[in-house]
Structure 1
Amino acid sequence: MRKKNFLFAFMILLLAFSVVGCGGGDKEGAADNAKPKVFVFGQGADPRGLDPAFVDDGESAIPIVNIYDTLVRYKEGSTEIEPALATEWSSSPDGKEWTFKLRQGVKFHDGTPFNADAVVFSVSRQLPPNRTDAMPYASFTFGPVQKVEKVDDYTVKFILNEPYAPFLANLAMALAAPIVSPAAVEKYGDDFIEHPVGTGPFKFIEWKKGQQIVLEANKEYWDGAPKLDKLVFRIIKENSVRAAELKTGSIQGMNGVDPNDVKMLEEAGLKVIKNPGMNINYLAFFCNNKPFNDPKLRQAVSHAINRENLINFLYQGLAELPNGVLPSFMPGYDKSLAPYEYNPEKAKQLLAEAGYPNGLKVTLLTYSVVRPYNPVGGDKLAAAIQADLRKVGIEVEIKTYPWKEFKEIYTPEIVKDGDFMLYGWIGDNGDPDNFLSLLETKEIKTTLNTAKYSNAKVDELLVKGRTALTMEERNAAYSELQKIVQEEAPWVFLGHSKDMAAIGKNVEGFDLHPVGVIFFHNADLK
């Protein structure tokens, strides 16, 4: 009897343990099977590519800053610099040598180590003689860099040809500056542009052209694992379609918010972010070709465009009227600059003085997508400008291209398909040189100088501003430069658009950075 009772008790005990074990397993399984946090972000166009050395567009920049890291980075919400892949740095008294101590224990997504060799590789491929015309930001970012060399496994030294005030800020930029995996570049060759490997908070998984890019969390990220499990960039061309999908919850965030959709989104309880825009929306004349090689004709067009109407009606007041290249909150801004007033009669007078008393016919190139600096899209803006110019006798033919094709159309030094174009710029680093360099002669070759504008004095003042040791000296050079540009009118300054994005009700930790990108490392879904 005792033996039977003992066996019975033993069996009850085993059953109890098995129930506890199963219960514990169910809890773990519930945690393992918890719904992953997938943030779907809607943007208007495919990236040009995901190798930071070979692209120059915002659609590429947003995924890139989440896949790669830079030596230094911007602080949240500002363009102040803080450590990233470099933990500390110093410069020589003459400003020509910069030494960086690198973070140890960091690995690329392919498992290879981040070290001095990777930094030297990433930068050297963008320096002469390796630099090619297909690297649009290389000279812009590393122009004064003579060489970069390894001091030891975790120390690198940059040697510059001359002091360069924006140098440290440039190393935090989204394009050209990110550090790539040398092993992955060797493995994929030219296809690395579609198979990116960095050290950033998210790993690349796939890119279905015209549909989506999928990233997953880098759980071993040196600055802490992301809160999201996956980050998906969905390509949704139409502003209104993106807004509708955000409203239904099929995407969690979007950029390219149409000013006409803001009220609808806010009434639906969604958050619309409206930050001061570190950008410029402009019309660029092709200054090296007829008819706009004549400054008088450029001035005529500048007087003919009703910029205030564009701001108040086309952009619904969600943009500021520029007085020059720089937004009002940036260093180097000159409040004394007087932009061209809307004056159709003055425009007609200048047209006659330029040899076109009966007007002329010209072709305007534009893009079919929306841009952060132009949230209504190139078509609508072109049509508004066309209507204004018609009033003074200028007939405008509009040619519209998809974004990638558009970038190729204006690339040749002499553009044959048009006479002027719509474009814009999003500031990369908060330094005035980043905007004003777009008018430098040497940037014609890189395609950053879309107006193909060249003025030796402007070039000289840009060098003076970069190499000056004080901000006062820099501001003086930039003020003189902007007055020359104002007179010669290579651009019509159309607006500084509010930097806008919209997010769902359950999104936390999301914001637009002043340099126009979105860092998703701290974003979360609740």
Structure 2
Amino acid sequence: MRILKNRAVRAATATLVAVVVAAGCSSERGKDDEGNKSKDTFVFAAPGDPAALDPALASDGETFRVTRQSFEALLKHESGGSDLTGALAEKWDSNDKGTVWTFDLRKNVKFHDGEPFNAEAVCANYDHWFNWTGSYQSSAVSYYWQSTLGGFKKNEDKEAPKANYKSCTAKDENTAVIEVNEPSANLPGGFSLQALAIHSPKAIKEYEKQDAKAKGDAITYPKYSQEAGTLAGTGPYEITGWNKGNKEVSLKRFDGYWGKKGGVEKLVFRTIDTEDGRRQALQAGDIDGYDLVAPADVDTLEKEGFQVPTRDVFNVLYLGMAQGKHKALKKPEVRQAIAHAVDRENLVKTQLPEGGKVATQFMPETVEGYSDKVKKYEFDTAKAKKLLSGAGETGLKIEFCYPTEVTRPYMPAPQDIFESVKSDLDKAGIKVTPKPLKWAPDYTDAVEAGSCALHMLGWTGDFNDGFNFIGTWFAGYDKQWGFKNEKVFDAVNAGSKEADPAARTKAYEKANEVIMDYLPGLPLTSSPPAIAFAKDVNPPEVSPLTQENFGEVTFK
């Protein structure tokens, strides 16, 4: 779903992929020799391509959707929920300070290349990431390592944060001990991240022979990450091909998997970048499921007999205000006027699936640290006009960027949401100049650079900790927002190194109150993204974190 210079946008821009020749797989997966639908292959349509097949190099949900089927981290979230549970580690604990983490590992686990999984393999991965050099230190390549465990053994990138990772020790074959320099709100949740999933040490030796290249956020990924063959995880499926021409990644069941075997023999992830295209493909029987169902399509599909489960809310969409781009936004009265001008209840009613909510702060109520005491900004056009007049900004003109060619879990129909917000601002006397930009790289680059006075963006949480939301944007100066306010920064960071969970949650609650008093931008909505499946599919448990395990899929 950005503790760096701009955490919220780094994850989006990491989807820029250089042209690399990759191994192919047929676009007719899911058909038998006579053209009939085969029951050994599950075809799922996603709204975007993965960036790489090595999750450590990525920060986008479409990459992780694929790699999650093939790679496992030490921890994971329970099926269909947000509580942490064991994955490659059966048990884990930490010292009182939260600086020493001990993992009791599963036994008799094999990597796809036949290598054994053990504590030395865990440490080989963590030390591999810690020792990255050159372009691997670019935040566009190693975003999640940096946001979770800091910088590297020797920082070469001037923007790289101070290293918090200290060491990994194989105490014995089945016990790994990871030490950090300071307690962090990102742990233990960070140990569940796909970007920190465990790879075969044999494969890592091959990875280290290849370089990544990065210029700003434009990335040329190493060849091994762009094709099947070298990569090896421990998951229920192994990646067998990536046909970029047909926009498909194919996987086959790994019969040596330590846990419950995958329910189908093959998985195919196919990119269909429009909502209508995905719906029509499902209706035609060309695919077995797809993500990010348009709210208007839910009833239609259900009446036709398709299954359309809705995930629980675990995201937030916001209206960003770049104070460095437009001087009027530096005035709190102007930011407050914009907040009062937007009818967020109408957004929920007209733009979101059933279960959508107005966002009162920069995290949903399902996240620990949510506060009931934040300052509210009710819809009031007259009050908005009065605030603008008092600030000397009657007739305010402002540019408003919005993304095209994209659908996000928190933003199902960007242009429709933009038009609704624009209409509200017009009624309050704010003259909006629309600026549509292609999602990647134009929109994400512009937002990151602080070039969009008003813009829409959001976040789906990686794990249930408040810092994973508010720390993404407000832990320090960020060009996207263009403000410096130590009271906000200090409040956000107060809980980030607090080892006691209860005290940490209290600190986040206070931080939310400080943020909404300052009002750097306007939280708009939290959306329960819908996912659709064919009539003959037994679907997986749907995840509020969009972390579905497609090994749970079977056909009826």
Q: Which amino acid aligns with 1:325?
A: F
Aligned residues, how many? 485
- Normalised to the residue count of structure 1, the TM-score between the two structures is 0.85
Task: Report the Cα distance in structure 2 between the residues aligned to 1:517 and 1:443, rounded to whole angstroms.
Answer: 30
After superposition, the C-alpha distances for 1:331-360 in whole angstroms (9 at most, x for unaligned) are 222123243111222222333344422221
Structure 1 unaligned residues grouped into runs of 5+: 1-33
After superposition, the C-alpha distances for 1:74-111 in whole angstroms (9 at most, x for unaligned) are 22222222222123333223321112233344333233
Q: Which amino acid aligns with 2:488?
A: V
Task: Report the Cα distance in structure 2 between the residues aligned to 1:158 and 1:242, rounded to whole angstroms.
Answer: 43
After superposition, the C-alpha distances for 1:27-53 in whole angstroms (9 at most, x for unaligned) are xxxxxxx95511111111112333222
Q: Which residue pairs with 2:225 in the alignment?
A: 193
Relative to structure 1, the CA distance from residue 92 to residue 475 in structure 2 (aligned partners, 3 Å threshold; closer, same or farther) is closer
Correspondence for 1:120 among 119, 123, 141: 123
Q: Which residue pairs with 1:236 in the alignment?
A: 272
- Normalised to the residue count of structure 2, the TM-score between the two structures is 0.81
Task: Report the Cα distance in structure 2 between the residues aligned to 1:68 and 1:481, rounded to whole angstroms.
Answer: 35
Relative to structure 1, the CA distance from residue 225 to residue 504 in structure 2 (aligned partners, 3 Å threshold; closer, same or farther) is same
Q: Which residue pairs with 1:18 in the alignment?
A: none
Q: Which amino acid aligns with 1:203?
A: E
How far is 1:139 from its partner?
A: 2.5
Determine what percentage of the aligned residue pairs are the same residue: 29
Secondary structure of the structure 2 residue equivalent to 1:299: helix
After superposition, the C-alpha distances for 1:264-295 in whole angstroms (9 at most, x for unaligned) are 10101111111321111112122344333443
Matches within 5 A, 1:108-507: 108-127=111-130, 130=133, 131-134=137-140, 135-143=142-150, 145-151=164-170, 152-174=172-194, 176-181=195-200, 182-186=204-208, 189=211, 190-195=222-227, 196-209=231-244, 211-291=247-327, 292-315=329-352, 317-375=354-412, 377-406=413-442, 408-410=444-446, 412=448, 414-416=449-451, 418-442=452-476, 444=478, 450-452=480-482, 454-507=484-537
Q: Which amino acid aligns with 1:326?
A: M
Relative to structure 1, the CA distance from residue 141 to residue 111 in structure 2 (aligned partners, 3 Å threshold; closer, same or farther) is same
Secondary structure of the structure 2 residue equivalent to 1:361: strand
Q: Which amino acid aligns with 1:290?
A: H
Task: Report the Cα distance in structure 2 between the residues aligned to 1:257 and 1:314, rounded to whole angstroms.
Answer: 12
Structure 2 unaligned residues grouped into runs of 5+: 1-36, 151-162, 212-221
Task: Report the Cα distance in structure 1 between the residues aligned to 2:536 and 2:75, rounded to whole angstroms.
Answer: 31
Task: Report the Cα distance in structure 2 between the residues aligned to 1:463 and 1:394, rounded to whole angstroms.
Answer: 34
Q: Which amino acid aligns with 1:199?
A: T
Please, what is the CA RMSD of the aligned residues? 2.5
Relative to structure 1, the CA distance from residue 50 to residue 388 in structure 2 (aligned partners, 3 Å threshold; closer, same or farther) is farther
Q: Is this contact kept in 1: 2:353–2:527, CA < 8 A? A: no
Q: Which amino acid aligns with 2:298?
A: V
Q: Which amino acid aligns with 2:370?
A: Y
Task: Report the Cα distance in structure 2 between the residues aligned to 1:77 and 1:357, rounded to whole angstroms.
Answer: 49
Task: Report the Cα distance in structure 2 between the residues aligned to 1:453 and 1:66, rounded to whole angstroms.
Answer: 40
Q: Is this contact kept in 2: 1:145–1:158, CA < 8 A? A: no
Task: Report the Cα distance in structure 2 between the residues aligned to 1:459 and 1:274, rounded to whole angstroms.
Answer: 35
Q: Is this contact kept in 2: 1:42–1:234, CA < 8 A? A: yes
Q: Is this contact kept in 2: 1:441–1:452, CA < 8 A? A: no
Secondary structure of the structure 1 residue equivalent to 2:457: strand
How far is 1:319 from its partner?
A: 1.1
Secondary structure of the structure 1 residue equivalent to 2:377: coil
Q: Which residue pairs with 2:29 in the alignment?
A: none
Q: Which amino acid aligns with 1:360?
A: K
Q: Which residue pairs with 2:81 in the alignment?
A: 78
How far is 1:318 from its partner?
A: 4.3
Secondary structure of the structure 1 residue equivalent to 2:97: coil
Answer with 1 or 2: which has the greater Rg. 1
How far is 1:371 from its partner?
A: 1.0
How far is 1:193 from its partner?
A: 3.1
Task: Report the Cα distance in structure 1 between the residues aligned to 2:183 and 2:474, rounded to whole angstroms.
Answer: 18
